[in-house]
Amino acid sequence: MAKRFTNTDKWKKQWFKKLNTKQKLFWLYILDDCNHAGIWDIDLEVASIRIGDEMSLDEMSYVLGDDVVFIDNREKVFIPKFIEFQYGELNPNSRPHISVINLLEKYNLMDRKKDEVDKPKKKVSKSNKFEIPNVDEINIYCSERKNEVDANVFFDFYESKGWLVGKTKMKDWKAAVRTWEKNFNNTKDTGRKITKDLTNFKFD
């Protein structure tokens, strides 16, 4: 059974804290399931079974970020700093390192092995990049606004739609929460009006 080092500091990293439970588990699964050169064969069907929750291609892209390297016609993904974290500097005279070097050379990855493995930092500024919120973030925002929007229902609804509003990619999830809040309040007011009308209605 293979044994690997793990970076316990990830739990303190802001990018990791923003992931929901499923996304955290998916990231940990990839680090365990990739081969000894940090290359993972993309198989979302098996990944979904093993983490116990369905993982979409869009959500995988969100978790992996922009700095991983897709190889072999995008059927595999390479996690750059995995090598440095697990082995340090590769030594071509070290028997355990030889197979790693051979794999990296096979996919022309030797020049990428010193990039970061800890979650790749996004190069797109936050102002232009939509980040999928987790249920806790939604719940906190709803609590701050003291509305009755169910965070789990909200998350599951947009998760099933790929975080699209109509046919457009969502830009501001908080604005969507406020829209739900407004619709919810309108529905309650309509309900009160109907109840009042029925109460005052006289049957002949």
201 vs 129, which has greater pLDDT?
A: 129
What pLDDT, on a 0 to 100 scale, did the predictor assign at position 166? 83
CB 122, CB 65: distance < 8 Å: yes
Cα–Cα dist 106/148, whole Å: 55
32 part of a folded domain: yes
What pLDDT, on a 0 to 100 scale, did the predictor assign at position 199? 46
- Compute the average pLDDT of residues 114-119: 43
Cα–Cα dist 16/119, whole Å: 8
Give the pLDDT confidence of 10-45 residue by residue, as tens digits.
898 888 888 999 999 999 999 999 999 999 999 999
Cα 53 to the chain's mean position, in Å?
12
Give the pLDDT confidence of 62-109 residue by residue, as tens digits.
888 776 888 988 899 999 878 888 998 889 999 889 999 999 999 888
Predicted confidence band of residue 128 (pLDDT cuts 50, 70, 90): low
Predicted confidence band of residue 121 (pLDDT cuts 50, 70, 90): very low
* Angle, alpha carbons 51-53-55 (nearest 5°): 95
Number of domains in the chain: 2
Residues 92 and 171 both lie in one domain: no
143 part of a folded domain: yes
120 part of a folded domain: no
3 part of a folded domain: no
Residues 106 and 141 both lie in one domain: no
Residues 97 and 166 both lie in one domain: no
Residues 108 and 155 both lie in one domain: no
96 part of a folded domain: yes
Question: What mean pLDDT is reported for the chain?
Answer: 82
Residues 151 and 107 both lie in one domain: no
Site of tokens 């109509």: 166
The tokens for 184 are 């919810």
Boundary (domain end) residue, out of 49, 77, 112: 112
pLDDT at 198 over 50: no
- Compute the average pLDDT of residues 144-164: 91
- Secondary structure (3-state) at 5: coil
- 9 — phi, psi (to 5°)? -70, -15
Of 159, 137, 152, give the one whose Cα is nearest residue 56.
159
130 part of a folded domain: no
Residues 89 and 175 both lie in one domain: no
What is the percent of the chain where pLDDT is above 90?
A: 35
pLDDT at 191 over 80: no
Cα–Cα dist 96/88, whole Å: 12
Which structural domain, as residue segments, surrounds residue 188?
A: 135-200
Residues 81 and 147 both lie in one domain: no
Percent of the chain that is helix, strand, coil (3-state, to 5): 55, 5, 40
CB 63, CB 23: distance < 8 Å: yes
pLDDT at 157 over 80: yes
Residues 32 and 107 both lie in one domain: yes
